[in-house]
């Protein structure tokens, strides 16, 4: 045992002492054969004290509960070969001592991103409602390319798109990127070319392409593209100099100068992210990229309209084969076919072959050509004439007959596209979109639109950078807590998880719809109203149950004559009766019996609310919320046994009748010892057309009630006290 401890101390403890950054271990530091766990415990305790961290034992000795909230801990686990290794918080993965661990994929790697997107959607919903905006939301809209996660459109109260003060319809886009591993967004990542970019990185060229596609898409042309958010929990790799921020390339240029991007921290108003709960946890940035920088040049160095026109004209002038080996054609083939500049023809020979020709629309300068296509036509013909060997070829009629060979892969793909274009109705749109999406998957650089001029491209890049906002947030778990906390301000009397779970479920069901549906603020508002009603019902159910228990504990029994019981039963069962008024000397006695009858008659007592006037006043909003829920069936019994002013009671009843809105699913029982009040309610019900049973007079009701007194001494004392408080009770003996 001593030898084991000596080895432990010599080899392992020495290794640990030599490491200054113990909490940042990124590998296991030592192995040892046949450890004696009992003998090593004292050494483990010494290490724990020295490093001021917890040490856990695991492996074949069992699986401990690891408290990951600790700033530092070490895990010693035993392998199959009876060897132990050290691991730290950074690389700790819990082991199952029976089955071992396994590699993960699928949902474990992707669900966190979906939940992040879901919670950002909830944030937009909550913020839009809080600031009383009319809006509609969309998600996973493929037409928005890389900004497809959220679209936020301003509407009017009827859900129609509205124009702002500037006369335009405003729309905002958001792309959510979430990571579980700790890293930063670097200069290299931002400056990558599209074909070099990974799926989940932050290549600006990729987002710039999407920005251009959105701006020129027919669906979005009527909108003012207000903001483009890239929302992520991955921080920018910022360097701070005073109040200035920048992102720097780690590698210097050949001339020794540094490549950097200036970054501006935004402090202007933003209803979605500049909110009290998010301050200190969310930051918004803009990239200030100079026109002379490498990244700006890279963004504008895409093929311009002039270069594309010259390139395609060169092929037609010498009848050179045109296919995917030509980088310009490969990148813009979708745009060239979509804008009806070129077409594909299948050859007639036994061997399958295809060739390309200019379309009639392009040759005749069809008025329906887009502005870029018309400009392209002028540039194309100018370039073509310069490259023609004979002056006789410099005509559009000559161009009409020119054919360029192309590959079968290009021909087959665009033959299908042309067939879909020739169809009538909406079916062709789906086919065209499917082909376009297929092209985009095959070649991420594929452009749906013709390029701009050089000057136009510069203006486009500047516009993109002006509207692009990086939003750095906490991870999806913390975002969820922030949303729940904000909901708690609105639903302070209820567990916020209850509200958040309802919202999560609703929005998730909406996201899963097979077709893209817009979610309007009116639907969200109705959802919040529904949740409020459920919460109010739960709260009232608790108060009502407590009050019913008190009524039952008054320790008396009362029985109705059958004829009167039949009346109450008729009231409960008849859809044409909503109101029962009881003018009672002793409201509590009537309430006790009504409660007993309701419990016998109605299974779902959560739908029955029996409250005294004191509680009715205190929970007026909750009562109205439940009554306003159109689809639920409720019975509300208000017991007036207090000294409230009749005017206040009358106001309460007025609010209740207004909320009912002639909904026959709502039934009301009012029990009071104030005859004038009962008369007012009777008249009020006529005004609101509340269907009611004939008002029962207190003489009729009291004559039908029989009181039985328990002989228990405590019961008698309680009842005597009750009788003293309610002097008007007339006791009957059996």
- Tens digits of residue pLDDT in 275-296: 666 667 889 999 999 888 888 8
Q: Which two tokens stand for residue 54?
A: 């917890």
Indicate if 562 and 622 belong to the same structural domain.
yes
Angle, CA of 22, 24 and 26, to the nearest 5°: 110
pLDDT at 27: 33
Tens of pLDDT, residues 443-475? 556 677 777 777 888 899 999 999 999 999 998
Indicate if 597 and 708 belong to the same structural domain.
yes
Determine how many CB atoms are found less than 10 A away from the CB of residue 158.
9
Burial class (CB in 10 A: 0-12, 13-18, 19+), 396: middle
Last residue of a domain, one of 61, 91, 121: 91
Is 730 inside any structural domain? Answer: no
Q: Are 375 and 305 in contact (CB under 8 A)?
A: yes
Q: What is the spatial distance between Cα 346 and Cα 458, in angstroms, rounded to a whole number?
A: 40
Is 96 inside any structural domain? Answer: no
Angle, CA of 210, 215 and 217, to the nearest 5°: 90
List CB contacts of 249: < 8 A, sequence separation 6 or more: 187, 188, 191, 258, 259, 260
* Strands 283-288 vs 342-346: parallel, antiparallel or unpaired: unpaired
Indicate if 151 and 13 belong to the same structural domain.
no
Q: Which residues of the chain have pLDDT under 50?
A: 1-5, 7-9, 12, 19-43, 51, 57-73, 75-100, 254, 424-427, 492-493, 555-557, 696-734
pLDDT at 230: 96
Indicate if 126 and 35 belong to the same structural domain.
no
CATH number of the structural domain spanning residue 581: 3.40.50.300
Indicate if 360 and 446 belong to the same structural domain.
yes
- Residues forming a β-bridge with 176: 231
Last residue of a domain, one of 474, 493, 517: 517
Indicate if 132 and 161 belong to the same structural domain.
yes
Last residue of a domain, one of 91, 117, 147: 91
Is 732 inside any structural domain? Answer: no
Number of folded domains that form the chain: 4
Indicate if 292 and 366 belong to the same structural domain.
no
Indicate if 480 and 541 belong to the same structural domain.
no
pLDDT at 690: 67
Is 590 inside any structural domain? Answer: yes
Is 457 inside any structural domain? Answer: no
Helix (H), strand (E) counts: the chain:
26, 23
Q: Are 149 and 176 in contact (CB under 8 A)?
A: yes
Q: What is the spatial distance between Cα 267 and Cα 239, in angstroms, rounded to a whole number?
A: 19
Indicate if 363 and 508 belong to the same structural domain.
no
Indicate if 543 and 680 belong to the same structural domain.
yes
Q: What is the spatial distance between Cα 576 and Cα 597, in angstroms, rounded to a whole number?
A: 20
Is 459 inside any structural domain? Answer: no
pLDDT at 72: 45
Is 360 inside any structural domain? Answer: yes
Indicate if 52 and 173 belong to the same structural domain.
no
Burial 315-353 (b: 16+ CB within 10 A, else e): bbbeeeebbeebebbbbbbbbbbbbbbbbbeeeeeeeee
Name the 3-class secondary structure at 169: strand
pLDDT at 40: 45
pLDDT at 64: 42
Of 657, 659, 693, 686, give the one whose Cα is nearest residue 583. Answer: 693
Indicate if 512 and 577 belong to the same structural domain.
no
pTM of the full structure? 0.57
pLDDT at 263: 94
- Residues forming a β-bridge with 579: 668, 692
Q: Which two tokens stand for residue 560?
A: 């109705």
Range of the domain at 416: 303-450
Is 188 inside any structural domain? Answer: yes
């Amino acid at each position: 045992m001593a030898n084991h401890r000596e080895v432990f101390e010599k080899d392992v403890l020495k290794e640990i002492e030599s490491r200054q950054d113990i909490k940042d271990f990124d590998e296991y530091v030592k192995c040892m054969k046949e450890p004696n766990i009992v003998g090593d415990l004292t050494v483990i305790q010494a290490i724990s004290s020295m490093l001021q961290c917890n040490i856990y034992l695991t492996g074949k000795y069992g699986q401990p509960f690891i408290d990951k909230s600790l700033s530092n801990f070490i895990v010693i686990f035993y392998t199959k070969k009876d060897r132990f290794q050290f691991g730290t918080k950074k690389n700790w993965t819990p082991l199952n001592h029976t089955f071992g661990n396994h590699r993960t994929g699928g949902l474990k790697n992707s669900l966190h991103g979906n939940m992040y997107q879901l919670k950002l959607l909830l944030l937009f919903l909550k913020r839009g409602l809080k600031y009383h905006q009319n809006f509609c939301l969309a998600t996973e809209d493929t037409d928005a390319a890389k900004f497809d996660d959220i679209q936020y459109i301003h509407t009017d109260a009827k859900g129609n798109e509205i124009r702002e003060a500037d006369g335009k319809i405003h729309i905002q886009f958001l792309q959510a990127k979430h990571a579980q591993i700790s890293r930063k967004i670097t200069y290299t990542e931002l400056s990558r070319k599209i074909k070099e970019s990974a799926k989940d990185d932050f290549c600006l060229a990729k987002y710039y392409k999407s920005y251009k596609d959105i701006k020129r898409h027919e669906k979005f042309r009527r909108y003012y593209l207000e903001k483009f958010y890239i929302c992520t929990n991955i921080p920018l790799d910022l360097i701070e100099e005073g109040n200035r921020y920048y992102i720097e390339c780690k590698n210097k240029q050949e001339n020794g100068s540094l490549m950097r991007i200036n970054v501006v921290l935004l402090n202007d108003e933003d209803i979605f992210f500049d909110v009290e709960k998010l301050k200190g946890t969310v930051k918004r940035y803009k990239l200030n990229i100079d026109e002379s920088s490498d990244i700006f040049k890279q963004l504008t160095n895409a093929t311009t309209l002039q270069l594309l026109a010259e390139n395609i004209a060169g092929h037609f002038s010498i009848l050179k084969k045109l296919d995917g080996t030509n980088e310009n054609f490969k990148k813009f083939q979708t745009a060239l076919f979509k804008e009806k500049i070129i077409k594909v023809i299948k050859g007639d020979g036994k061997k399958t072959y295809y060739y390309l020709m200019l379309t009639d629309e392009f040759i005749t300068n069809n008025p329906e050509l887009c502005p870029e296509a018309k400009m392209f036509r002028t540039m194309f013909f100018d370039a073509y004439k310069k490259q023609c060997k004979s002056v006789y070829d410099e005509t559009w009629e000559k161009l009409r007959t020119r054919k360029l060979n192309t590959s079968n892969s290009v021909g087959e793909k665009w033959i299908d596209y042309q067939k879909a274009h020739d169809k009538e109705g909406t079916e062709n749109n789906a086919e065209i979109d499917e082909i376009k999406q297929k092209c985009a998957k095959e070649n991420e650089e594929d452009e749906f639109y013709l390029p701009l001029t050089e000057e136009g491209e510069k203006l486009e890049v500047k516009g993109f950078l002006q509207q692009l906002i990086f939003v750095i947030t906490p991870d999806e778990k913390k975002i969820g807590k922030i949303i729940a906390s904000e909901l708690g301000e609105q639903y302070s009397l209820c567990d916020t998880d209850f509200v958040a779970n309802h919202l999560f479920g609703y929005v998730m069901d909406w996201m899963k719809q097979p077709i893209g549906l817009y979610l309007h603020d009116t639907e969200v508002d109705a959802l919040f109203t529904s949740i409020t009603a459920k919460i109010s019902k739960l709260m009232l159910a608790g108060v009502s149950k407590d009050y019913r228990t008190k009524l039952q504990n008054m320790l008396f029994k009362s029985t109705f004559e059958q004829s009167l019981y039949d009346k109450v039963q008729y009231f409960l069962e008849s859809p044409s009766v909503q109101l029962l008024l009881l003018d009672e000397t002793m409201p509590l006695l009537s309430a006790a019996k009504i409660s007993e009858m309701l419990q016998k008659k109605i299974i779902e007592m959560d739908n029955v609310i029996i409250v005294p006037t004191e509680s009715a006043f205190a929970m007026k909003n909750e009562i109205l919320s439940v009554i306003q829920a159109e689809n639920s069936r409720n019975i509300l019994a208000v017991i007036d046994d207090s000294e409230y002013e009749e005017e206040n009671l009358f106001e309460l009843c007025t609010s209740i009748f207004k909320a009912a809105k002639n909904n026959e699913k709502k039934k009301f029982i009012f029990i009071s010892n104030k005859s004038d009040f009962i008369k007012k309610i009777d008249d009020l019900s006529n005004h609101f057309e509340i269907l009611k049973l004939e008002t029962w007079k207190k003489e009729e009701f009291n004559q039908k009630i029989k009181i039985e007194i328990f002989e228990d001494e405590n019961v008698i004392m309680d009842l005597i006290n009750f009788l003293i408080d309610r002097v008007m009770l007339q006791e009957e003996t059996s």
